Amino acid sequence: MPSTAPESDHPYAVPGVREPSSQRVRAESRLQGQLPCARCRYELQGLSIAGNCPECGLPIGATILAVVDPFAKELQTIPRPRLTNLGLQVWAWSALATALVVWTMRLSELAREVLGTTYWPGWAPHTAVLLTALSGLGATALVRPHANIPVRFRAAATAGCLGFIPLAILHWSLFVRIDASTLSFDYFSQAPDQSRLTIRLLCGLLCVIITICLRLNARVLVSRSLVLRTGRVDRQTLYALAAAFGVGVVGDALRLASGSFGSKWMEIIGNAGIMIQVLAALLVTMGLAGVAIDSWRMRRAILSRPLALSELVGSDAGKEHDHDPRRA
Ligand SMILES: [Zn+2]
């Protein structure tokens, strides 16, 4: 739906957001709100914005640039910031924890094969399934974190959350039904279980879809973080994660296909598939860690309102609210 207002250059991804209002401030303006110096944390309240920090000499303008969000007025209020932040953290960290639990299973299987150890983490299969479901529960925070999110963004996030239901069932089938009963290291298997590979492949496809579906609203939340959106930390983490899951799907498909080739080709393709599977496992784990770290970095941008310049120096229009500014 086209909007008559010019689109903001804010990478907010929500259509129809207008340009930030120009914030002209007189050079003699004094800081009305509390503002600790960006370098030494000295309280700068009451000082001229054109001056320097009396403690360390850092220009006060530099501190203002570091904390003021020029889009503060355009950003939507998050009605339940604590719940939204909790959901975001549970989504990201449960997903990373799932990967680490699977690593525990695989490494103990490897140790059984190579070192002859007998340890098997009996708690791991059910824990991985529970963490998968928990991650999906947390993801519901991304469906509608605030008002004025386009319908297709919300629909995509809803689809992403629903995707966790078949994913948890497939994980149960893979970890509890198959892995906990065979206890064998699949990567050494000359004749891999075709149904297990098929489940793996479906899990990978689901994870690609879930990641792409949740990315839209995750980006909406990322855009609230001054640090993340100005490109200092943003690394398109969710695209990289979706690609990593996709690499795993290719590995699974190669191993599945290797069953229908002649023996020479079967070995080459099967081994390539195994290498790609292991590479994907590493990339997915790194990707999930990146998402978890970014989610943690975003917590302040979600828990507190963005800080507008007018809240720090007052407004000539005299229409501003008289609330306490908070640091971004
Ligand atoms: Zn200072």
94 and 219 co-located in one domain: yes
Q: What is the pLDDT of residue 50?
A: 86
Indicate if the pLDDT at residue 208 is higher than 90: yes
Structure tokens at 12: 């907010």
In a domain, 96, yes or no: yes
User: Residue 60 Cα, ligand 1 centroid: separation in angstroms?
Assistant: 8
Do 162 and 212 touch, CB atoms closer than 8 A? Answer: no
The answer to whether residue 47 sits within a structural domain is: yes
Q: Is residue 109 part of a domain?
A: yes
Instruction: Kindly state whether residues 183 and 323 are assigned to the same domain.
Output: no
CA of 186 from ligand 1 middle (Å) equals 58
Q: What is the pLDDT of residue 128?
A: 97
- How far is the centre of ligand 1, averaged over its atoms, from the C-alpha of 74 (Å)? 30
Looking up tokens 């959901």 gives 87
pLDDT > 90: percent of the chain: 48
Q: 63 alpha carbon to ligand 1 midpoint, in Å?
A: 9
CA of 56 to the centre of ligand 1 (A): 4
- Residue 242 and residue 108 share a domain: yes
Ranges 147-156, 245-254, 260-269: which has the least confidence: 260-269
Q: What is the mean pLDDT of residues 198-219?
A: 96
Whether 322 shows a pLDDT value over 50: the answer reads no
Q: Which tokens sit at 305?
A: 């309102």
Q: Is the pLDDT of residue 209 over 60?
A: yes
State the distance from the centre of ligand 1 to the C-alpha of 223, rounded, in angstroms.
Answer: 28
CA 214 – ligand 1 centroid, Å? 41
Distance 301 CA to ligand 1 centre (A): 23
Mean pLDDT of the residues in the chain: 83
Q: pLDDT by residue (tens digit) across 41-81? A: 999 888 888 889 999 999 888 888 877 777 777 778 889 99
Q: What six digits make up the tokens of 63?
A: 């501190």
> Are 187 and 272 members of one domain?
yes
At residue 25 the predicted structure's pLDDT band, cuts being 50, 70 and 90, is low
* 36 Cα to the center of ligand 1, angstroms: 8
Half-sphere exposure of 4 (CA within 13 A, CB side): 0
| pLDDT tens digits along 287-309 | 999 999 989 988 988 888 777 77
Tell me, in angstroms, the distance from the centre of ligand 1 to residue 41's CA: 6
pLDDT at 319 over 80: no
Query: Span 213-222, mean pLDDT?
Result: 90
261 and 139 within one domain: yes
Is 268 part of a structural domain of the chain?
A: yes
Whether residues 155 and 135 fall in one domain? yes
Q: What is the mean pLDDT of residues 306-324?
A: 58
Based on the fold, state whether residues 221 and 313 are members of the same structural domain. no
- Rounded to 5 degrees, φ, ψ at 15 are -65, 150
Cα–Cα dist 67/55, whole Å? 19
Number of domains in the chain: 2
Q: How far apart are the C-alpha atoms of 5 and 35, rounded to whole Å? A: 33
67 CA from centroid of ligand 1 (Å): 14
pLDDT over 90 at 39, yes or no? no
* pLDDT exceeds cutoff 90 at 242: yes
Range of the domain at 61: 31-75+306-328
Q: List CB contacts of 100: < 8 A, sequence separation 6 or more.
A: 285
Per-residue pLDDT at 228: 65
Q: Residue 59's beta-bridge partner residues?
A: 52
Q: Are residues 259 and 111 in the same domain?
A: yes
Distance from the alpha carbon of residue 257 to the mean position of ligand 1, in angstroms: 64
Query: Are residues 196 and 324 both part of a single domain?
Result: no
**Angle at Cα 284 formed by Cα 235 and Cα 252, nearest 5°?**
135
Q: Please say if the pLDDT value at position 145 is more than 50.
A: yes
Q: How far is the CA of 310 from the centre of ligand 1 (A)?
A: 22
- The verdict on residue 25 lying in a domain is no
CA angle 237, 150, 135 (to 5 degrees): 45
Token pair belonging to 270? 């099967």
How many A from CA of 46 to the centre of ligand 1?
A: 14
Mean of pLDDT values over 171-192: 83
219/197 same-domain check: yes
Q: Which long-range contacts (CB under 8 A, 24 or more apart) does 185-189 make?
A: 185/106, 185/109, 185/110, 185/112, 185/113, 186/109, 187/110, 187/274, 187/277, 187/278, 188/113
How confident is the model at residue 12, as a pLDDT?
A: 47
CA of 42 to the centre of ligand 1 (A): 5
Q: Both 71 and 102 in a single domain?
A: no
Residues 322 and 220 in one domain: no
